[in-house]
Amino acid sequence: MVIQKETLRPTRPTRPMQGPTARPTTTTTTGRTSAVAAKVLAVVRMATGFVFLWAFLDKTFGLGYATPTARAWIHGGSPTKGFLAGVEVGPFQNIFHTWAGTTWADWLFMAGLLGVGIALLFGVALRAAAASGTLMMLLMWAAEWPLAKHTAAGAPSMSTNPIVDYHILYAVVLLALAAAKAGNTWGLGKLWAKLPLVGRNSWLR
C-alpha cells in the first residue's frame, strides 16, 4: 500500500476584514467641527444683532437705561445730539458738533441701528449690514478718537487702547459674519438669497 504525501504550499497572510462602511474619521470630524462653528457664528450673529436693536429701542422709547424717558426720540429727543455734541477730542470735533442733533443725522443713525439689528437677527442682507455697520462704527471711533491721550481741554481722554476698541471689534465681527454667510444657520439667509432681487444684486446678500 502506497501512501502519497500531500505537498505543503505556503499560506498567504490573511488581511483583517474591513467593514463595508469603514471611512476615514477625518471627514466626519471636519463635518462636525464645521457644524459647531456654524452654530457658534449664528449665536454671535444674533447676539450682535440684539446689541444694535436694543440701542435703537432704548433711544426711540427711552427705556431708562442709556436714554431717559424724557429724552426719547418719540418725545422729541435727539439720538445724536448728546453724543456728538460732547465730542471733545480728535481732529473732527467741529464736524461732529455741526452734525449733532440734525434731522438727517438722527434718521440715518437710527435707520442704521434698526437695519443692522434686524438683518443680523434674521440672517439676511449681511453684506449690506456689514458695510453700513462698519461705516457707523468707524465714525463713532473717529468721534471718540482713542489715539489721543488728552482731550482738547487737556483732561485725560481715558482711552484704553489707541487703535482697537469695541467699535473696531464690532466692525470686524460684522465683516466676519458676512464673509462666513452666518445667516444660513438659524436664519433666513438661504431663503433670502433665492429672492430674484437679491440674486440680481449680490451686495444685498
User: Is the confidence at residue 10, as pLDDT, over 70?
Assistant: no
Instruction: Please count the other Cβ atoms lying within 10 Å of the Cβ belonging to residue 8.
Output: 6
What pLDDT score does 15 carry? 56
What pLDDT score does 32 carry? 87
Q: Quick check: is 45 in a domain?
A: no
Q: Quick check: is 68 in a domain?
A: yes
CA within 13 Å, CB half, 132: 21
**DSSP class of 75:** G
Q: Quick check: is 30 in a domain?
A: no
User: Is the confidence at residue 4, as pLDDT, over 60?
Assistant: no
What is the domain extent for residue 111?
A: 53-204
Q: Which residues pair with 156 in a beta bridge?
A: 150
Q: Quick check: is 21 in a domain?
A: no
Q: Which residues pair with 150 in a beta bridge?
A: 156
The chain-wide mean pLDDT, for the chain, equals 90
What pLDDT score does 33 carry? 86
Q: Quick check: is 139 in a domain?
A: yes
What pLDDT score does 30 carry? 84
Structural domain tally of the chain?
A: 1
Q: Quick check: is 86 in a domain?
A: yes
Phi, psi at 162, each rounded to 5°: -70, -15
